[in-house]
Every structure is written in C-alpha cells, then in structure tokens.
Amino acid sequence: MSMVRVRFAPSPTGYLHVGGARTALYNYLFAKKNGGEFILRIEDTDEARSTQESLRGVIDDMVWLNLLWNEGVDPVTLRDQGASGPYKQSERQYIYSEIADNLLNANKAYYCFLTDEEITTQREAAIKAGRPPQVNSPYQDWTLEKAKERLATGDKAVVRFKTRDLKKDYIFTDLVRHEVKFPSDMVGDFVILRSGGMPVYNFCCAIDDHMMKISHVFRAEEHLPNTLRQLMLYEAMGWQPPEFGHISLILDEDRQKLSKRKGAVACGQLKAEGYLASAVLNFIALLGWSHPEGKEIMTVDDMIQAFDVSRLNSSGAVFDRVKFKWMNAMHLRALPNMDLWQEIQPFLAREKMDLPKDPVWQEKSIMAFKTSMETLADAIELYKPLNDISFTILPEAEETLMWEPTKTVLLAWRDLVQASGKDYLSEAEFLKLQDEVKNKTGAKGKNLFMPIRVAVIGKPHGTELKILVPLIKTSSLVTRANKVLEKIG
RNA sequence: GUUCCCAUCGUCUAGGGGCCUAGGACACCUCCCUUUCACGGAGGAUACAGGGGUUCGAAUCCCCUUGGGAACGCCA
C-alpha cells in the first residue's frame, strides 16, 4: 500500500461537535495505525457562514482533544503548514477555476442561467411527478460561445456538471459497508461553481483529495450520496478516486442525526461541563467501533494499537450521556492525583474558593474525593464544604437538629475539637475523638454521626467524616459547630 | 415522493453457519461491604423486528415486508 494520507476537513461554520470529532478521530487512528499522515483541510467555501472565530474554535477543540495533524494550518497562527497547501479552500480558487475551465471546454460542464424561481418550480413538479427533485437545465445544450456571450451582457450563471451522458451505475467498495451501487440518475446536474465563481463542496473535495494525495476518506454516512457525485468528477477528470469509508451517524435520543441545533454536543461544551478529552475520545470511538477484546476503557494509544477498519460498525449509534458520564468518571480516576488537582482548578476558580496551597493537603483532598467525582465540575460541590465561606446549614439538616441528643453531642464535639490543640485532626485522631464524644454523651449510631456531620458540612449526608474532617482546620470546625449550636438555641 | 444506507437487551456493542439454552459494558433491581451517601464486590431481570427461503444446522447467507435513518442546495 502506498503512503496512507487521510484528512479531516471541517467547515468553520460553527463549533466542533462530537460527530465531527469522531470522524477526525477515526481518520487520526487510521493514520497512526498505518504510519500515515493526518491532514487538516479547511473547507471554507461558504463565504456567508465561514468565520475566523469558528475556525479558531474548531482548531482549539482539535488541540484540546490532542488530535494533532501533520499538515494543514498552524494551530497558533492558522497559517499554512505543509507541502500540499494551501489548506484553506478559499485560497485554492485558482486551482478550482482552472479545472472548471477544462471541464467547460471539454463539454463536461456548462453555464446555467436558471433562476431560483425556475429551479423551485422544476423541483416541485418533479416531486409531484414522483421523480427525484432534480433540475433539468435547458442550458446544458448551449454552446460555450453562446453562454459566454450572455455572460458578457452581465448575466450571472453557475457552472453545472453534466450528468446526462454518464454511464448507468456507479459501483464502489466502501470500507465500512462493502459494495455500494448508485444509479447515476440519482443526482441531477449539480453545481460545481457558484455564480460568484466560488466552487462548491463536491468539486473542491474531489480536487483537493486528489491533489493532496489522500489515500482514504473516512467521513459520515450523510456523505454517501456525495460520493456518487465525486466519483463522477473523478471519472471526468481521469483521476483515480481514493478509498472511501462511510461511518455511521451519531444519533440523539430520538434516533435522529445529532444536530447542532438540538443537542449540547459541542466538544467545547463538554469541556466546560467537566469532561476529560481522553474520555470524550474513548467514548466517541466506541460509537461505531469496538475493540477486538471488548476493552472499553482505553487511552488513545490503546485505540491506535487496536484500530482496524473491519471493526467499524455500519449502523447508527445513540449518544448516551449516562454511559458517557460513567466513562468520564473512569478516566478521572485513572489520572494521577496532582494531574486531577490541576484539572479541577478552572472549576474551583469559578467559585472563588480559598483552599490550602499545601500540595500535601491538595493530594490528600484528591484521594478523598476521587471516587465521588464523575465530572470535573463535581469538584465544586465536593470542595465547597472545605471552604469556610460557603458553610451553610441546609434545610435537610432540620430534622437532625431537632433530635434530643443533638445539642449535647455538638457541645462535646466542639469542646473536644477545641481542646485537641491541633491544626488539623488526622483520621485516627478524629475517630478517637468521635469515640470520646460517644462515651461522654452516650449517643451512638446516627444520633452521633449525623449531628457531627451537620456541624461539619451543614447537612446530614455526604462524604465520610473521617475523610472530610482531616481536611478542615480545627479552628474552622469549632466555628462551624458554634454556628449550628446558635441555630439550635 | 425518489434513491441510498441501516436493523442483537432501554443504550453502546460481541457475534461473520454449529463454540449461542446469545457474551460484555452503561443504566436498572437484589444482596454484601459500610455508624449515612458514594466507591467496591456478588448475583438478577432484559435482545437476535416479522415472514419466507438456502442448509443436516441460521442471530449469522438470500428474498420480501415492516421499521428507522440519510440524501436529494449557488451548505458542507
């Protein structure tokens, strides 16, 4: 096999969503597995919708996911980087127009002066007659000279690719779904150049894939019909098409294609919600692909090792947030303690918490909370109790406060903590102290620990006290106990 | 409407003619651990869309039906 070169070709018209990320991932994995190259091409021919901000956003998300490319645009400057550029289609117009001219001269394409109204009328009529809504342009029979004369008068025209004289069926072997057969009348004469001269997706795509020597194209199933158009183009230009693999769609809960409109499935949003890039990658990888041994929790390296096109699934997959969250929790736990501490900092910062700077304390806190975190954002609620500013007695504590032994337990607790003379209580010291409270007051079971818990975190349920208490200064424990005692009166 | 694609537990999937009285994972239920919750551990319930073939034998191959999805743009 010659050099493997794959590409991911986003259009900078919005954020990167999980569907796009998965396409990028599969291309990336395939390249890495085969010692090939991964190219990032920017499909920005939609002048109206493409924006610099979107490009920036998509690139940042790719970088966050660590799906880095060998050629494309520089992730920082966004300037071209590589030998097959330009990589932004908007800068490749000279290439497209030259090829369009060739097609025009060869009578394989023609100028079409149909107005929008005329096209709409044709489409409606076609549907009514039970035919696919294709245009049937009267201009396909015009000579190039005649068209150019009209163009010279200032009239605008698109360039359409002529499909009428093509062979009947196009057959190709898809890497994911095996043999696919399209009747050529499935598509009408499609536009390759807009009236402004800007090329259209299928045209650029075929040209760029060829010129950038792309060997394999993995893209979403929605592009299957486009493949027919591109195959026609390859044929017209006498080029060898790449291998195609059309991967299944990611669906929402209603089994519809995951759309930007409906779901919060932007990679950037997942990041903001506290998901790890490694978990996102792991999860989307499994939406349409499986490890030969059924392994579920994987690093990207694991995936590269095991990646095999034959294990790509051809049916659509629902994006299940519940399982995704579980997987994120697994990745969270696999992180070294201090790495996890770093990861939660942006989330804690949102709440302006004042937590100890001592790394020993920090690591201890992570060890205490690691198994209760599903997303990084969960750290906020977990760390809040450690933060004096946010100590409040919650309504759910009311019942405990009304119990008969509560007051005596709290008084004993406060006094013993105060008398300890320590800055922080160790777990053992806390347990011993708790025993003393028990002996002193005769309270046991929930009559004992629930009041104490309220005096520590403001509510009767939550993280184990033996974990929490060693993370809170004794002076703070006393202050908190006093607040609760005040409330009881 | 037309064309194409798809079809195993609620969800992601394993499975490519006998190893399947269908395996794993999430979620769910029960129990254990635990002075709460969580974590962890042990169990449990739940699926081959339907109908025809082919075959000694079909979740696996073929056909039809049904269902779902996608595409039909001067979007990509």
The 10s digit of each residue's pLDDT in A247-277 is 999 998 888 887 665 555 899 999 999 999 9
Instruction: Residue count of chain A, please give it.
Output: 489
- State both tokens at A276: 């790890």
Instruction: Specify the DSSP element, H or E, that contains A191.
Output: strand A191-193
Cβ A373 vs Cβ A465: under 8 Å: no
Name the band, by pLDDT with cuts 50, 70 and 90, for residue A1: low
Neighbours of A352 (CB within 10 A): 9
- The integer distance in angstroms from the CA atom of A33 to the C1' atom of B56 is 44
**Tens-place pLDDT, residues A401-423:** 888 888 999 999 999 999 998 89
Cβ A282 vs Cβ A213: under 8 Å: no
Cβ A89 vs Cβ A44: under 8 Å: yes
**Tens-place pLDDT, residues A174-208:** 999 988 989 888 899 999 999 999 999 999 999 99
Residue A88 has pLDDT above 90, yes or no: yes
Which residue is closest, via its CA, to the C1' of B7?
A315
**Tens-place pLDDT, residues A90-110:** 999 999 999 999 999 999 999
Percentage of the residues of chain A whose pLDDT score is greater than 90: 73
**Residue A263: its pLDDT value, please?**
57
- The integer distance in angstroms from the CA atom of A288 to the C1' atom of B8 is 15
Which residue is closest, via its CA, to the C1' of B14?
A294
**Residue A260: its pLDDT value, please?**
61
Q: In this structure, are strands A169-174 and A178-183 parallel, antiparallel, or unpaired?
A: antiparallel
- The integer distance in angstroms from the CA atom of A403 to the C1' atom of B74 is 75
Cβ A289 vs Cβ A317: under 8 Å: no
- State both tokens at A204: 């650029």
**Residue A316: its pLDDT value, please?**
93
Which residue is closest, via its CA, to the C1' of B71?
A225
Beta bridge partners of A17: A266
Residue A384 has pLDDT above 90, yes or no: no
- State both tokens at A105: 């001269």
- The integer distance in angstroms from the CA atom of A207 to the C1' atom of B57 is 52
Classify A315 as helix, strand or coil. Answer: coil
Classify A80 as helix, strand or coil. Answer: strand
- The integer distance in angstroms from the CA atom of A362 to the C1' atom of B46 is 44
Note the Cα A216 to chain centre separation in Å: 22
Q: Nearest nucleotide by C1' from A182 CA?
A: B4
Beta bridge partners of A301: none
Nucleotides of B under 7 A from a protein CB: 1-8, 10-16, 23-27, 35-40, 68-76
Higher model confidence: residue A281 or residue A466? Answer: A281
Q: Nearest nucleotide by C1' from A13 CA?
A: B76
- State both tokens at A353: 């918490």
Q: Nearest nucleotide by C1' from A180 CA?
A: B4
Neighbours of A43 (CB within 10 A): 19
Q: Nearest nucleotide by C1' from A200 CA?
A: B74
- The integer distance in angstroms from the CA atom of A375 to the C1' atom of B32 is 28
Name the band, by pLDDT with cuts 50, 70 and 90, for residue A394: confident
Q: Where are the alpha helices (DSSP H) in A335-426?
A: 337-350, 359-369, 378-383, 398-402, 406-420
- The integer distance in angstroms from the CA atom of A305 to the C1' atom of B19 is 27
The 3-state secondary structure of A229-265, one letter per residue: HHHHHHHHHCCCCCEEEEECCEECCCCCECCCCCCCC
**Residue A319: its pLDDT value, please?**
94
**Tens-place pLDDT, residues A66-85:** 999 999 999 999 999 999 98
- The integer distance in angstroms from the CA atom of A313 to the C1' atom of B14 is 12
CA distance A437 to A413: 6
**Residue A11: its pLDDT value, please?**
94
Residue type, A345: Q
Classify A45 as helix, strand or coil. Answer: coil
Return the minimum-mean-pLDDT range out of A51-60, A63-72, A286-295, A447-456.
A447-456
Residue A137 has pLDDT above 90, yes or no: yes
CA distance A28 to A331: 21
Q: Where are the alpha helices (DSSP H) in A335-370?
A: 337-350, 359-369
Residue A390 has pLDDT above 80, yes or no: no
- The integer distance in angstroms from the CA atom of A375 to the C1' atom of B46 is 29
Beta bridge partners of A284: none
Cβ A65 vs Cβ A10: under 8 Å: no
Q: What is the average pLDDT across A337-358?
A: 92
Distances in Å between the alpha carbon of A381 and those of A102, A350, A462, A489? 64, 12, 10, 28
Q: Average model confidence (pLDDT) for chain A?
A: 92
Q: Nearest nucleotide by C1' from A246 CA?
A: B5
Q: Nearest nucleotide by C1' from A449 CA?
A: B35
Q: Nearest nucleotide by C1' from A42 CA?
A: B76
The C-alpha angle A394, A399, A400, rounded to 5 degrees, equals 85
pTM, rounded to two decimals: 0.93
